[in-house]
Structure 1
Amino acid sequence: MPPFHRFQGRVALITGAASGIGRATAVAFAAEGARVALLDRSADALRDAEAAVRQSGGEVLTLACDVSKPEQVEAAVARTVETFGRLDIAFNNAGVENKASPVADIDLDEWDRIIDINLRGTFLCMKHELAQMLRQGSGVVINTSSGAGIRGVAGGAAYAASKHAIIGLTKSAALDYAKSNIRVNAILPGNIETPMMDRFTGGDIQKAIDLEPVGRLGKPEEIADAVLWMSADLGAFVTGASISVDGGWSL
């Protein structure tokens, strides 16, 4: 149990919450007193995350939501506010990796799939989250970009393009709402022990370890720690930032 409850009375909404970084962050928020809304494409996929949040002592709401669908995002944000009364923190973490391919060989449907979920999904979530935060007069939004948001990735143009764009979206929104007591930042994870990394490497995790200057993968909980700091009062003077948590991978 953490020695303090930085988020007592606050409400956090997390997308891509069924596993990996999203799940770890949901558990961390709940352990520090937050009520948590968990969003992922499948309600079934959220069961383990829901149980983990409850075990940490948090109130939890689970919602099936495809972040690329405007009506589903609007309904999920509305349901969160209806259930908990407000929305203090939004962690827009839902995302997918692309099938490795050089640019000329990228299938248009694959390009659209990556952009729809990673970029359009982040925008749609922000649109409705920020509207609620404006009504309240406060809030924090954190978007998941990537080390691939500040460097090129051979075979990963669609993913890198979406993650670069999230940084631009984050910076612009930070300026839009800087005087409205709303902070907007991005977190840039490196190679992290997640199901996505398993898929990306085909199960050969050593490939990813070899890319990391520190000689190991990051843990989802290490990203969660950074997200909580950015969401807490300790980060009150931070907005428009893109914070790398990647073991030096993007240097």
Structure 2
Amino acid sequence: APNPDQPRRTFDQAALEELAASIRELGVLQPLLLQRRPAGRFELIAGERRLRAARRAGLDHVPAVVVQTDPRGSLERALVENLHRADLNPIEEGSAYRQLIDEGGLTQEALANRLGRSRVSITNALRLLDLPTSSQRLMAEGRLTAGHGKALLGLQGNPFQERLARRAVQEGLSVRETEDLVRRYGAISETRPGGSGTRSSARPPLVSEAQRRLADHLQTRVRVEMGKRKGKVTIDFVSLEELDRLTRRIIGESAPGQPTVVTLD
């Protein structure tokens, strides 16, 4: 049975056919990774692309290794394999990180250490999930890169955001060109009058920048919302331990047992 937590959701059909041709010639060179399930069945942990290609090649049997793991371990193994092969699109990667954080009670820093990734790369991947569904779909289809998505986050809450995403695809804009247009559209939203002659209610770039800097500093998901008279900052945490870490980071207090840096006169 396939792994229900498989982070990869899309498979390039041309690449699958190429792999199937290779398997017809050489066989499956790397075993699949399985875990045992009730009634003598097995669940696939890693190797779904190889399994699909082997079926296309007409194989009835494939080499496999059976391991014992828990659901989180199964997701981690599948995620690590796909990351090492660069098989995940940016949205699949961010969604897998979010699932591990939510279900495993991990901080972004702890997840980065477990996966051998930088904490910044985890944060950036998670931020892409804040984009509109239409923009996420373009990245999942490979029509926009993670770099494009990161640039578009500068227009979060701006009516130009989805329009620019479509334009980037239609005109084949580079990441740098997209960044330039994000700055231009942001400036337009700052000065464009609304129907009553007042400034547009689109979120100013300063708010998006503040949200990004807070998320980077606190190493968790942060949302900054602006109302007509006041704003709101929402900080996500998944455990009491992370709440304690966030509190200490906000007030500048060292964790127990951690050295405190002081300035000597």
Normalised by the length of structure 1, the TM-score is 0.27
* Bigger RCO of structures 1 and 2 (CA < 8 A, at least 6 apart): 1
Q: Which has the larger radius of gyration?
A: 2
